[in-house]
Structure 1
């Protein structure tokens, strides 16, 4: 039986200076391009970090919070309306060192079926075939846990996880809606589920996250920068 992932002790979860550096790195994020098909994305070898999740899991809000910008990622009033892959450059303006990829949300019931299938195909192509993909940030509503769609996405990603090819961070959003005991249970359940995928790999992690209370913001930023600039 694979042991569950263990959270880092709070006292050593992150050095404040490292978190500040990581947040400053993300603060410079700027829009690069948008694409509705994989072949419309630019070439190159810059590592890409993809943000994925159900349409109402708080993906755009998390990106904006990490980048300390209000409208870097567009948060539509109607979840599920983002139909493109949006890329953002990170790092110095004259020498970006990474890209953030905001992928279409999935699972919103009111979206027309044909559109759903098209977006899912684009997202699947990106996650399976995109060579510069370096890491995936999976947004999970902490109140709901991993839905069937989220589990399906994990199964789809599994061949690329581990071995250092693609890293995964599950971000349990909206944790401010939970009390301490509920948050601990949500984290433990996620660790148990992901532990079966991680095996001996250290490339899969999980954290609670609240844009409102800024819980986990520095830790997520430090993790993402660490993927691109390992110590």
Structure 2
């Protein structure tokens, strides 16, 4: 995929604000500190399109980015340890449920997990939630550069087992530092664009 254009469009809190031009969307979901912003910036060859926050849990809306005028990346609020009130968390939960359950142009969900650690309880819940809504999932294991090559397969197996992935389910090792996995990730996404 040659990215010639990538722009921030809108931060939406509900269906009334979603773009309505019918273009395909890829949602990016993951824990608050999994490296979603770095993933998006690396995939789009942009250093600061998405601001990388020191404080996890910064994304509180659905942030839309249009790519090549032909599809969207939708950065959804991270789950995990964002320091927000219970009320805010419930509002996020409703917003995400509405989006994942009802959004017809959602082509696939990129689920980011940290290669260094076994998937968390929330990671498993997210995966089951997406399976329930029959959403195609591309699992991306971030921070691959932090694990020696000799141990990467073992970590990959733990993720596959914990999330009950089948051999057909895409599971890609990714590093926003080195760019490893970027081409593979684009191939997995392009599969859902045609």
Aligned equivalent of 1:118, options 74, 78, 91: 91
Aligned equivalent of 2:182, options 178, 203, 217: 217
TM-score by length of 1: 0.78
Distance 1:214 1:44 in 2: 31
Deviations 1:164-201 (A, max 9, x none): xx32111100111111232111111223345x4548xx
CA displacement at 1:98 relative to structure 2: 1.1
CA displacement at 1:32 relative to structure 2: 1.6
Tell whether the 8 Å contact from 1:158 to 1:197 is kept in structure 2 after alignment: no
Aligned equivalent of 1:130, options 84, 100, 103: 103
Number of residue pairs the alignment of both structures matches: 194
Structure 1 segments of 4 or more deviating over 3 A? 196-199
Unaligned runs of 5+ in 2: none
CA displacement at 1:226 relative to structure 2: 2.6
Within 5 Å, which residues of 2 pair with 1:22-101? 22=1, 24-25=2-3, 27-91=4-68, 96-101=69-74
CA RMSD of aligned residues (A): 1.8
Unaligned runs of 5+ in 1: 1-21
Flag the structure with more relative contact order, 1 or 2, with Cα contacts below 8 A and sequence separation at least 6: 1
CA displacement at 1:112 relative to structure 2: 2.4
TM-score by length of 2: 0.91
Distance 1:179 1:197 in 2: 23
Deviations 1:22-62 (A, max 9, x none): 1x13x522112111223321223211101000000000110
**Which structure has the greater CA radius of gyration?**
1
Tell whether the 8 Å contact from 2:32 to 2:82 is kept in structure 1 after alignment: no
Aligned equivalent of 1:140, options 92, 105, 113: 113
